[in-house]
Structure formats: C-alpha cells, structure tokens
Amino acid sequence: MPDPVGLEVRLRQSGAIPLDVSLSCGPGELMALVGPSGSGKTTILRTIAGLYWPQEALVTCAGMTWVDTGSGVDVPPHRRRVGMVFQSYALFPHMTALANVAAAVPYASKSKREARARELLRLVHLDGLEARKPTTLSGGQQQRVAVARALARDPAVLLLDEPFSAVDRRTRRRLQDELRELRRSVRTPIVVVTHDLDEAAALADRLAVIDRGEILQSGRPADVLAAPADARVRNALDLPTEDTP
C-alpha cells in the first residue's frame, strides 16, 4: 500500500493521447519516468499539477485528493502543493533571481517572501546572484533558480520535466550531484522525466518505463535495465534486442 503522505496516481484514457497509468512515489523517493518522445511522460506530470485533465484520474498527495473524476473532485492548480520545473525553466525574464523565487512564496509579507527566497537560493548554491536576471545567468544557474522557485511553494511533490536537458554534460553531472544533495534536505516525493538512462540509473530509486501512455515495467533501475520484461520494454529503452549479436 502506498505511503499515505506520498503521491499516488491512477490515470485512464483512450483516444489520441492514451493513458493506462498506476504509480506511487513515497516521501523522499525519486521516481524516473523514461520512454520515447510522445509516450505520455510529460502528460502524467501535467495531470498531477492540474494542467491536463484525462478521462479518468485519481491523484492523491500528502493525504489529500487533488483529482478524482469518479466523485467530481478537481482541486485547481494554484491550490495543489506542486513544485514543477519545466524543461525551459519558464523564468520571468524581467525579474531578478530573487524576485522570481520570492513571487512563488505563498501568503507572506514582502520581507518574509524575500527572506525565504534568499534561503532557497542559498540551498541551491546561488547566494550572491540574487540581483541577476535570467538572461545573465548560465543554463545551470537558471535551472537552480527554477528549482528554488518550485521549492518556494513548500511543495508536497516536486515534478521535474527534463530538468538537465538544456545544459552541457559537465554541468549536468554537477546538477545531478546537487539534486542528490537536495533530496537530503527536502523529504518530498520527486518525479523526474528524462530521456537519459544513465541519469535515471544514477538518480532514481525507481524507474518506470512508459510507452503509448502505459507503464510497461517499473522497479529498481538496475533491475529494469538488467532484465527488461520484454521486447517492448527494450524498444522503449532503445536497448539491443536479445538476438542482436
């Protein structure tokens, strides 16, 4: 049974964007969603965040039901405690790093929002860069601002959509190390969409292989990669088939 304060997702849908998904992610656990482009990975994140509405959905997190199509429950996105980092980071270009993060701090005075934003920028190793605007920051620094902004909402779940795809390999490794460090400070479920199997293997506690909206196999990354369940899983992971010499 999933941890009651973790994340549980069940999605069903037919049609152009099919979904057949059942997953759970506990506090402090990192789940990686992998699979080919168009397989439904980002759609799952968007459904959790309240930005997409499939035909059938049940999403619970931190003991609260965010959507249940069977009973008509649908908590709007701004009331869901979701921290989401988009692939493009989606920072406000006219605002400083400090202001980008402070704007996401809920229900506080300006001074308290700025104090919390400074604390989060220190957490992601950006202290001293508070006054810089996104265009003057490197890709890795922008990604850290986006993570700090996501954390500013005191999220019950953190969703990362290809968070390291826009940076070079050296920066990606450094950011992966920082995400591992961050997990020790932030005990929330984390769901990461990635195309990088090495990244998934290095970061994730569990790996879910998705194709055409369906979870084909899930488990510890080492187990899934060492023993794909069938040819469809191998194809989704772009691994050699069993009879390949």
* 149, containing H or E segment: helix 139-151
Torsion of CA 140, 143, 145, 149, to 10 degrees: -170
**Looking at the domain assignment, is residue 38 inside a domain?**
yes
**Looking at the domain assignment, is residue 123 inside a domain?**
no
Residue range(s) defining the domain that contains residue 49: 7-81+155-237
pLDDT at 242: 61
- pLDDT tens-digit profile of 71-127? 999 999 999 999 999 888 889 999 999 999 999 998 889 999 999 999 999 999 999
Query: CATH code at 19?
Result: 3.40.50.300
**Looking at the domain assignment, is residue 14 inside a domain?**
yes
What is the count of structural domains for the chain? 1
**Looking at the domain assignment, is residue 91 inside a domain?**
no
- pLDDT tens-digit profile of 151-179? 998 899 999 998 877 777 888 888 888 88
Residues 6+ apart with CB under 8 A from 105: 112, 113, 116, 117, 152, 153
The pTM of this model reads 0.90
